[in-house]
C-alpha cells in the first residue's frame, strides 16, 4: 500500500514515518520543501515529492498512484497572521483533498487538532463538543474540517479526521520547548493566577500510534472523527511543577493576579515581536488560555481504533527534556 504523508519532514510527520517504516508493510511517499531534509528520508527508502502549500501548481498530481493520504502539512503557529494561516491550512488542504479525489485514493486522513474545538465548558470534551476555537490556528482547522466533511457528503471523499491534543516529545521545538525553557530559565517564577484550569498534552509516540491504527482500520475510521489524547489531563500548576521538578529548579508556588501577569507578558511580547521572536509561552494569549479548560476524552478512539496511549505527562516530559539536553537546547 502506498501511503503519502504530507508534512513528513515536520515534527509529527517524522515520528509517524519512523513507525510506519518499522511496520515494513507500506510504501511511503513524503512531501518536502527543503531539499536537504528530503535527502534524509530518501536514504531511508522513502520517495519524496516536492510541494509548496502556497503554489497550486506544485500540488497538482501529488496524489497520483497513492492509496492513502495522511495530510499533516500545515502552518502550526499560534500568533501568525490570519491570511497566512488560512492559505496554508485551509486553501492548501482543499487543493490536496481535491487531488486525492481525482486520483481515487482509498482513505484521506486529515490531521486536525483539538484546537478546532478549543476550550470546553464540560470536562472532558469529546468529538461532539461544539466548535469554539480561540486561536486563529484552531479556526483554520475548524474550517478545513467543515469543508472536508462537505466533500465527503457530496463527492464521497473517504475521510477520517484525527484531532490530536497538543503534541510533545523529542523534536518539538515550538510550544513544549518554549514552556520548558521558561521554567528552566526562571522566566515564570510566579504562577499566573491559581493555575487550576486544565490543559491536555499527549506524547508523540501515542499520537503516531493513533494515526497508525487509523491507517490499519479504514473500515472503522472512514466517516469518523477521533480525538487522540493521553489518559491524563492536568492543571497548569501541576504541569509547571512537574517540569520544574524534572529540571531540578524551584517550581512557581506563589501566584499573581492574571491581570498583572498579562501586563508583564505584554511588554515581553512587544520586545519579542520587535526582535522577530515567536515565544509561545511569553505571550499574552497564555493568560487568556489559562482562564479556560482544554481537557478531552479519548474514549471513542479507544473503543473503535483500539487506541492505547502509553504515556502520562511526567513520563513523556522526562524523555522530552532528556532530548532537549542531549541536543543542547536547554
* CATH topology assigned to domain 2-171+200-232+294-312: Rossmann fold (3.40.50)
- The C-alpha angle with vertex 301 and arms to 218 and 102, in degrees rounded to 5, equals 30
The Cα–Cα gap between 117 and 98 comes to: 25
Q: Which residues, at least 6 apart from 213, have a Cβ–Cβ distance to it below 8 Å?
A: 305, 306, 307
Taking Cα atoms as reference points, which of 155, 178, 214, 195 lies closest to residue 290?
195
pTM above 0.85, yes or no: yes
> Where would I find the H helices in 61-166?
82-86, 92-102, 136-155
Domain ranges of the chain: 2-171+200-232+294-312
Q: For the purposes of burial, counting CB atoms within 10 Å of the CB of 210, is it exposed (0-12), middle (13-18) or buried (19 or more)? A: buried
- What is the DSSP annotation of 253-285? -SEE-HHHHHHHHHHHHHHHHHTT---SSSSTH
Cα(first)–Cα(last) distance of the chain, in Å? 41
The Cα–Cα gap between 322 and 320 comes to: 5
The owner of cell 495530510 is 71
The owner of cell 472532558 is 124
Question: What are the pLDDT tens digits along the chain (330 aa)?
Answer: 999 999 999 999 999 999 999 999 999 999 999 999 999 999 999 999 999 999 999 999 999 999 999 999 999 999 999 999 999 999 999 999 999 999 999 999 999 999 999 999 999 999 999 999 999 999 999 999 999 999 999 999 999 999 999 999 999 999 999 999 999 998 888 899 999 999 999 999 999 999 999 999 999 999 999 999 999 999 999 999 999 999 999 998 889 998 998 998 898 889 888 888 888 888 999 899 999 999 999 999 999 999 999 999 999 999 999 999 999 999
Amino acid at each position: 500500500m502506498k501511503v503519502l504523508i504530507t508534512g513528513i519532514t515536520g515534527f509529527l510527520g517524522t515520528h509517524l514515518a519512523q513507525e510506519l517504516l518499522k511496520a515494513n508493510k507500506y510504501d511511503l511517499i513524503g512531501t518536502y520543501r527543503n531539499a536537504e531534509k528530503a535527502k534524509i528520508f530518501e536514504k531511508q527508502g522513502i520517495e519524496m515529492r516536492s510541494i509548496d502549500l502556497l503554489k497550486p501548481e506544485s500540488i497538482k498530481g501529488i496524489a497520483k498512484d497513492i492509496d492513502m493520504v495522511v495530510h499533516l502539512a500545515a502552518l502550526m503557529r499560534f500568533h501568525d497572521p490570519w491570511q497566512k494561516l488560512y492559505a496554508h491550512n485551509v486553501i492548501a488542504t482543499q487543493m490536496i483533498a481535491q487531488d486525492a479525489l481525482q486520483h481515487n485514493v482509498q482513505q484521506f486522513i486529515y490531521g486536525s487538532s483539538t484546537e478546532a474545538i478549543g476550550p470546553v465548558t464540560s470536562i472532558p470534551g469529546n468529538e461532539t463538543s461544539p466548535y469554539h476555537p480561540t486561536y486563529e490556528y484552531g479556526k483554520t482547522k475548524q474550517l478545513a474540517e467543515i469543508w472536508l466533511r462537505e466533500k465527503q457528503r457530496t463527492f464521497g471523499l473517504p475521510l477520517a479526521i484525527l484531532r490530536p491534543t497538543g503534541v510533545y516529545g523529542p523534536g518539538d521545538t515550538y510550544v513544549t520547548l518554549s514552556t520548558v525553557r521558561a521554567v528552566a530559565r526562571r522566566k515564570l517564577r510566579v504562577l499566573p493566577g491559581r493555575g487550576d484550569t486544565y490543559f491536555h498534552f499527549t506524547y508523540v509516540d501515542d499520537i503516531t500510534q493513533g494515526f497508525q491504527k487509523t491507517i490499519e482500520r479504514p473500515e472503522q475510521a472512514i466517516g469518523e472523527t477521533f480525538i487522540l489524547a493521553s489518559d491524563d489531563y492536568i492543571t497548569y500548576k501541576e504541569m509547571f511543577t512537574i517540569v520544574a521538578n524534572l529540571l531540578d529548579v524551584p517550581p512557581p508556588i506563589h501566584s499573581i493576579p492574571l491581570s498583572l501577569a498579562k501586563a508583564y507578558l505584554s511588554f515581553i511580547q512587544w520586545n519579542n515581536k520587535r526582535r522577530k521572536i515567536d515565544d509561545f509561552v511569553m505571550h499574552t494569549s497564555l493568560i487568556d488560555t489559562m482562564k479556560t479548560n482544554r481537557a478531552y476524552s479519548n474514549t471513542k478512539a479507544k473503543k473503535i481504533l483500539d487506541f492505547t496511549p502509553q504515556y502520562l505527562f511526567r513520563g513523556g516530559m522526562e524523555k522530552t527534556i532528556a532530548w532537549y539536553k542531549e541536543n543542547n537546547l536547554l
